């Protein structure tokens, strides 16, 4: 099943769960359920943004947009991260408010609705389990669903404790814990998005290691002016100058093929721009 179709299924299911939580919150008088419904509305909006971004990113390159629309995915991931951070602030505010203004609720309705939400969010995580580790934008959607699942767990745990002990403050404590988890995930997503937009080297790559390995190739005297960056979460690029001995153009081509092979196979860098230099060129450079 395509990623876009998976997202559509999750979005539809989220809308149904949100409506259920609104009804359940009104019947039970549970602010937690109503707050979680607002949480799901925010997350559903973020999933719609993700779906739109993927649709744009699948478009091909044009004479004006030579890399296509791949950066739309990164912008959407940044938006999702900011949305997660704002959402955690709302949850934290509501949690602190409940320390001073505890709300009596019908725990049976609260438990039933939260259990349905828990199952639904778990299904969403399973659907996206393969894509979330390799696509930054899908990771943002995955984190939103994870936040929903944690909220459902918190609501269920809070309802059980309240029904057994009458200790209403447990709802606020769980809210603060959920907000802390969401903040951590949001910060990681925002930093990763910003690193891509700032064209920083991918965090799992060492430019020094790449330079050292390329210099070991026979015929290469130096490998400098190296720039490594991500076009999107999955696509990486590199540009560099390669100083070689005074050799034939065909031999230079063989060296470049070896360099590109190492960059692709070992470092997952698929887009390379390599400029060949030689000492005998003096002020002019030899291009291959």
Residue 50 belongs to domain with CATH number: 1.20.1510.10
Whether 69 maps to a domain, the answer reads yes
Is position 102 within any domain? yes
Count up the domains in the chain and report the number. 2
Indicate if 157 and 46 belong to the same structural domain.
yes
Distance CA 83, CA 15 (A): 18
Q: Does residue 202 form part of some domain? A: no
Q: What does the pLDDT read at residue 188?
A: 82
Examine the domain organization and report whether 109 and 141 are in the same domain: yes
Residues 94 and 193 in one domain: yes
CA angle at 217 for the pair 230 and 280, rounded to the nearest 5°: 100
Q: Is 157 exposed, middle or buried (0-12, 13-18, 19+ CB in 10 A)?
A: middle
pTM of the complete model: 0.71
Per-residue pLDDT at 281: 53
Taking only the tens place, the pLDDT of each residue in 99-134 is 887 767 777 888 888 898 888 889 888 888 776 666
What gap in Å lies between CA 141 and CA 3, rounded to an integer?
11
Q: Kindly state whether residues 68 and 189 are assigned to the same domain.
A: yes
Please report the pLDDT score of residue 109 as a whole number: 84
Residue 187: CA atoms inside 13 Å, Cβ hemisphere, count?
A: 8
User: Of 197, 223, 249, which residue is a domain's last?
Assistant: 197
Task: Please indicate, yes or no, if residue 287 is contained in any of the structural domains.
Answer: no
What the block records as the tokens of 6 is 């998976």
Higher-confidence residue of 153 and 42: namely 153
pLDDT at 286: 45
Domain that holds residue 140: 3-197
For the chain, helix (H) and strand (E) counts, in that order, are 8, 3
pLDDT at 149 over 80: yes
Please provide the distance, in angstroms rounded to a whole number, between the alpha carbons at the two ends of the chain: 42
* Per-residue pLDDT, 60: 73
Looking at the fold, whether 25 and 74 belong to one and the same domain comes out as yes
Task: Report pLDDT digits (tens) over 63-72.
Answer: 787 777 777 7
Averaged pLDDT score across all residues of the chain:
81
Question: Residue 211: what pLDDT?
Answer: 95
Which residue, chain included where needed, has tokens 């990771």? 139
**pLDDT score for 288:** 43
pLDDT the model gives residue 132 = 64
Of the ranges 39-43, 52-56, 134-138, 155-159, which is most confident?
Answer: 155-159
pLDDT score at 284: 42
Q: What is the CATH number of the domain that holds 224?
A: 3.30.70.1350
pLDDT digits (tens, 9 = 90+) for 203-262: 889 999 999 999 999 889 999 999 999 887 668 999 999 999 877 777 888 999 999 999
Helix ranges restricted to H, the chain: 3-28, 31-57, 70-100, 107-127, 136-165, 169-197, 207-215, 249-267
Give the tens place of pLDDT for each residue, 6-41.
Answer: 888 888 888 888 899 889 878 877 767 777 777 677
Strand ordering across the sheet containing 236-244: 220-230, 236-244, 271-278
40 is a domain residue: yes
Q: Is residue 288 part of a domain?
A: no
């Amino acid at each position: 099943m395509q990623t876009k179709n998976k997202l559509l299924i999750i979005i539809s299911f989220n809308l149904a769960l949100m409506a259920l939580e609104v009804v359940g919150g009104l019947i039970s008088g549970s602010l937690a359920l109503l707050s979680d419904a607002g949480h799901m509305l925010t997350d559903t909006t973020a999933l719609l943004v993700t779906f739109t971004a993927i649709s744009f990113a699948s478009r091909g390159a044009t004479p004006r947009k030579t890399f296509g629309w791949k950066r739309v995915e990164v912008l959407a991931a940044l938006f999702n991260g900011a949305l997660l951070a704002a959402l955690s602030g709302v949850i934290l505010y509501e949690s602190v408010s409940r320390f001073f203004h505890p709300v009596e609720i019908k725990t049976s309705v609260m438990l039933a609705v939260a259990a349905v939400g828990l199952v639904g969010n778990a299904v969403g995580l399973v659907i996206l389990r393969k894509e979330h580790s390799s696509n930054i934008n899908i990771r943002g959607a995955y984190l939103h669903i994870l936040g929903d699942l944690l909220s459902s767990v918190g609501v269920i745990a809070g309802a059980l404790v309240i029904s057994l002990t009458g200790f209403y403050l447990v709802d606020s404590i769980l809210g603060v814990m959920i907000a802390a988890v969401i903040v951590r995930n949001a910060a990681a997503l925002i930093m990763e998005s910003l690193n891509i937009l700032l064209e920083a080297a991918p965090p799992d790559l060492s430019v020094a290691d790449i330079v050292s390995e390329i210099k070991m190739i026979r015929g290469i005297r130096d490998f400098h002016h190296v720039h490594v960056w991500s076009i999107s979460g999955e696509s990486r690029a590199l540009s560099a100058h390669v100083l070689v001995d005074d050799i034939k153009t065909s031999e230079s081509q063989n060296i470049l093929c070896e360099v590109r092979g190492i960059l692709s196979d070992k470092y997952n860098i698929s887009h390379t721009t390599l400029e060949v230099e030689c000492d005998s060129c003096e002020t002019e450079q030899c291009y291959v």
